[in-house]
Each structure stands twice: as structure tokens, then as C-alpha cells.
Chains A and B, each alone.
Chain A
Amino acid sequence: MMEPLYVAGRSPLHRLPAWLKLAALVAAGAGLFVLRDPRWLGLAFALAAILVWSTGVTARAVWRQVRGLLWVLLAVGLFTGWFQGWNDALAVVLRVGAMVGLALAVTLATRTSDLIDVCERVLKPLERIGLVDAGKVALALALALRFVPEIWRNFQEIREAQAARGLGAHPVALIVPLIVLTLKRAQEVAEAIDARSP
């Protein structure tokens, strides 16, 4: 099951303000695309790994979060290596790995509500000129984050229920009940939000 990423702690990364972490993440993301030398990218990857480790998260939890990505990285690496050479492939894999590591470190050390507060503050100027409702966008973001693990869990349950009845993994047979379940749950959560929104 996918889990919420935040790990409670008092590491230096935990103590930094959320806006600074997000700003640094954006800057690092842009910077990583400027770097081409695998040695520098390797250094960035190592730094990202140290930051993840500094949050106090267990290796098993990190593995659960990133194992799906390894296949993607492998495919991207092989594809790039085949067409552009293995030096470029190493650079691409290290760049994406470093980016994911930095993003993981930020989300491990920052509460969802703090991240959403930053988004809300960033959107405030747009709200003043009538383009968006910052509060609603922030809530939508929070709900999207909330529903990711839940949809995944529902998917697993439906797949197990169908397997128990001897059915194979047919996409339509999986997707239709998943959509129905998700919409039903979304309606129930909306009702709960209504009840708590005086």
C-alpha cells in the first residue's frame, strides 16, 4: 500500500520553513538540467541520498516508495544508452535519481498542510485579480494527495476480489468498479468536509 510520505522528526531539514524547501527544490530541479557531467550529477545524487537519510526514514520505507521508479529509470537508461551513448545514459539516470531523491527528502520532512499552505500563499496574488480561489485550489490539492493511496488500495482490493472469484486481470473489469468506488468515496468525503465547514 502507498503511504503518506511525511515522517515526524526534528532533523535540520524538518526545521527549515516549507517555502524555503520548495524554493530550493525548484532551483535544484532547474540546476540539475544545466549539469551534464556525470561526476557532478553523481555528487547531486549522493547529496539527495544524504538528505533522505537525514530525515530518519527507514531504508524499507524508502524502498517501498522508490521501487516502482527503478524500472522506469532502467528503461530510460537503456533507451538513452542505446541511442545516445552510455555516458549520457548515466547522466540521465543520475539526474532523475537526484531529482526524485530531493523531492522525496522535502516531502518526508514537510507536512502536507505546510506544503499546501505554501501553494495557497503562492496563489494569493492570482486570487486578488480574480483568477483562482486559492483556498479551493489548496483543498483540491490536499484531496488529490489524500486520494492517491486510497485509490491504490481500492485497486488492490478489487483485484484481489476478482482473483478470489477466479477472474483474470481484465482492465474494464478493474476500472469500472474502481471509478464507481472512487466517486462514492469522493461523495462521502465531500459530505464530511461540508459537515466540518461552518
Chain B
Amino acid sequence: MLIEFDQAVVATPQAEVLRGVSVTLAERRIGIVGPNGAGKSTLARLINGLVLPSAGSVRVNGLDTRHDLKAVRRQVGFVFQNPENQIVFPIVREDLAFGLKNLERDKALRETRIDAQLAALGVGHLADRTSHTLSGGERQLVALAAVLVMEPALIVFDEPTTQLDLRNRNRVRRAIAELPHDAIVVSHDLELLEDFDRVLVVRDGGIAADDAPAAALRWYREHCA
């Protein structure tokens, strides 16, 4: 997967959230860290087209997020920090079917893929449970399953382990590590990013450091703690 930011600016009436970011991302596992309000989530949202650049451009495999939004979203899944916002239907199986239905697949195929996806993440037994009875980790895994069932090539995670206890954090970490997909992970959980291929440090709306995890995370600890 090739993602190209070319002088991407995101501005609101109050402030410039991202100031002309230019970077090319092609590694399998990329981490994004930075202080609160630095622009990490905005950078991640640009990749899926949830936020469009005010100036400049973002291209995913050559597709411009401004002009080819549907095609970009078919390739890029997005897992939010709070899975409660991502789960739309009350029953787990119904929620996974929601995205698939948008692709107009037939019901038997939908059910097969839903069962296979939940089983692959080790949460097959949750298929007929109501989402409000799930633990935080289970909810995050269901939210991930709802994205994976759409078969995207790249998954963007926005602080996937922030609200989880240690046990659930480890479950989600394992699930991310075992994914065959490319992944970009915004996180304050620095341990999660240690085995990644590349880490970007975002500060004040720009990329302040861009290196292998050990060097980038050291820079982050020295300059942003």
C-alpha cells in the first residue's frame, strides 16, 4: 500500500491542525505517536478520507481522497478509539452485516464471512451477543472484525488500546500483530509500536521525527515527555 501526503494542510476556522505535511508511507506496520492535540488523529483520518485536506493532497495507491473517496474507503478500513461509536447495530452479527450489506452481497455469503471473521479473531462465540454486554476488549475486537469483514488492504487504528485494561490491551495487541494486512496505528501505547517497521512523531501539526521505532520513540520520550 502506498500513501502519499503532498503538502497536506488541514485548517479549521480556529486553527491550522496540520501544516503542509509531505510524507510517503509504504511499510507494513507504521506507528504514529505525539502529544494530545498534535494532529495524529487528523493525519490518520486523512488516509480514509474522513477528513479531506484544506490544501495539498493525499493519495492512496494513486487514488486521490478528494476525488476517489469511495474507492479509497474500499481499500482503507478505520478502527476508532471508542468501539461504542463504531458499533451501529445491537447484535454483533447484525453489526458486521451492516458494512457487507452496503456492498450488496447475498445473505448466505454475508453469514459465512461474518462467522469466519469472528472466528479468526477468536470471538466467534460472540456472534449473537448484544454489544452492550461485551467487555471493552471484546468490543474493540468486534469493531475490528466489522472492518476486516469488508476486506480492506490497509487498516488505520486510532488509539485502539487506550480505553482497555491490561488483559484486553494484550488481546488487541495480539490481534493487530497477527493481521496479514498493512496497518497504521495511532497510539500512546509505545510498547505496541516497538516491533513496527517505522514510527512517525507528530508535533504541532507537523512530522517532527520519522525513523525506525527505537530511534523515533527515543526522540519522542526526550522531546515530548
A195 and B90 contact, Cβ closer than 8 Å, known pairs A3-B132, A113-B97, A189-B85: no
What residue of chain A has the Cβ atom nearest to residue B51's Cβ?
A: A191
A143 and B130 contact, Cβ closer than 8 Å, known pairs A113-B97, A196-B146, A196-B147: no
What residue of chain B has the Cβ atom nearest to residue A196's Cβ?
A: B99
What residue of chain A has the Cβ atom nearest to residue B98's Cβ?
A: A196
Total interface residues on B, CB under 8 Å, equals: 29
Q: Is the CB of A192 within 8 A of B88?
A: yes
B-contacting residues, A178-198, CB 8 Å: 185, 188-189, 191-198
What residue of chain A has the Cβ atom nearest to residue B94's Cβ?
A: A113
Partner of B89, one of A3, A8, A142, A185: A142
Q: Is the CB of A198 within 8 A of B70?
A: yes
A-contacting residues, B89-111, CB 8 Å: 89-91, 94, 97-99, 102-103
User: What's the nearest-Cβ distance from chain A to residue B172, in Å?
Assistant: 17
**CA A8 to CA B71, docked complex, whole Å:** 36
| B48, B85, B128, B132 interface centre (most CB from chain A within 10 Å) | B85
Residue B217 at the chain A interface, CB threshold 8 Å: no
Q: What residues of chain A lie closer than 8 Å to B89, measured between beta carbons?
A: 112-113, 142, 146
Q: Is the CB of B102 within 8 A of A196?
A: yes
**CA A197 to CA B69, docked complex, whole Å:** 10
Q: What residues of chain A lie closer than 8 Å to B88, measured between beta carbons?
A: 142-143, 146, 189, 192-193
Residue B50 at the chain A interface, CB threshold 8 Å: yes
User: What's the nearest-Cβ distance from chain B to residue A67, in Å?
Assistant: 19
Residue B86 at the chain A interface, CB threshold 8 Å: yes
A195 and B50 contact, Cβ closer than 8 Å, known pairs A8-B128, A142-B89, A146-B88: yes
User: What's the nearest-Cβ distance from chain A to residue B103, in Å?
Assistant: 7
Q: Is the CB of B73 within 8 A of A6?
A: no
**CA A192 to CA B102, docked complex, whole Å:** 14
Q: What residues of chain B lie closer than 8 Å to A196, measured between beta carbons?
A: 77-78, 86, 98-99, 102, 146-147, 150
Q: Is the CB of B132 within 8 A of A4?
A: yes
Q: What residues of chain B lie closer than 8 Å to A142, measured between beta carbons?
A: 88-89
Residue B221 at the chain A interface, CB threshold 8 Å: no
Residue A111 at the chain B interface, CB threshold 8 Å: yes
Q: Is the CB of A195 within 8 A of B78?
A: yes
Residue B80 at the chain A interface, CB threshold 8 Å: yes
A-contacting residues, B117-151, CB 8 Å: 128-130, 132, 146-147, 150
User: What's the nearest-Cβ distance from chain A to residue B84, in Å?
Assistant: 8
A111 and B98 contact, Cβ closer than 8 Å, known pairs A192-B80, A195-B78: no
Q: What residues of chain A lie closer than 8 Å to B98, measured between beta carbons?
A: 113, 196
Q: What residues of chain B lie closer than 8 Å to A112, measured between beta carbons?
A: 89-91, 94
Residue B7 at the chain A interface, CB threshold 8 Å: no
Residue B82 at the chain A interface, CB threshold 8 Å: yes
Partner of B85, one of A143, A149, A192, A197: A192
What residue of chain B has the Cβ atom nearest to residue A7's Cβ?
A: B130
Q: Can you offer 13 A-B residue contacts whose CB atoms are under 8 A?
A: A111-B94, A112-B94, A113-B97, A113-B98, A142-B89, A143-B88, A149-B132, A185-B85, A192-B86, A193-B88, A195-B80, A196-B150, A197-B73
| Shortest beta-carbon contacts, A-B, top 8 | A4-B90, A198-B74, A113-B94, A8-B128, A195-B78, A188-B85, A192-B86, A196-B99
Q: Which B residues contact A (CB, under 8 angstroms)?
A: 48, 50, 70-71, 73-74, 77-78, 80, 82, 85-86, 88-91, 94, 97-99, 102-103, 128-130, 132, 146-147, 150
